[in-house]
Amino acid sequence: MKKVRQQATRLTDRINLHLKKMCSNLSPQKRMIAILFLCSSFGIVSLYMTANSFYSIWKSDRQTNPIHQQNKESGQHQSDSATDSITKSSKHQEYE
């Protein structure tokens, strides 16, 4: 366990040292530009992933679980009793 912790500590120290060397070469104005660019990039990617996951959930829910079907002739909504688990199970139960 100690060996893993030591390796993790060495790795984080190396990463910190490398980042400090890279950032020390940048002027404060370039650092600010880099920070704003990275933050806005990560923000846009985060919003895209969130919207995409909501769309995927909505799309799959709409395809697999139709609750109401609209009758085109009458223009009224009708419940789809074939997908209703309560009425479906009660029709096929037999009591002794």
Q: How far does CA 93 lie from the centroid of its chain?
A: 40
Q: Indicate whether 8 belongs to any domain.
A: no
Does residue 75 form part of some domain? no
User: What percent of the chain has pLDDT above 90?
Assistant: 40
- Per residue in 33-80, pLDDT (tens digit) is 999 999 999 999 999 999 999 999 888 877 775 555 554 555 555 555
pLDDT recorded at residue 76 = 57
Lowest mean pLDDT among 3-7, 48-52, 90-94: 90-94
Indicate the number of domains in the chain: 1
Separation CA 10–CA 55 (nearest Å): 42
Does residue 87 lie within any of the structural domains?
no
Say what the pLDDT of residue 88 is. Answer: 53
Q: How many residues does the chain have?
A: 96
Question: What's the CA gap between 42 and 93, in Å, rounded?
Answer: 55
Show the tokens assigned to 38.
Answer: 């990275």
Does some domain include residue 48?
A: yes
- Residue 64 in any domain: the answer is no
7: tokens are: 């390796």
Give pLDDT, residue 20: 87
- Whether 85 is covered by a domain: the verdict is no
- Inter-residue contact 12 to 4 (CB < 8 Å): no
pLDDT for the residue 32: 92
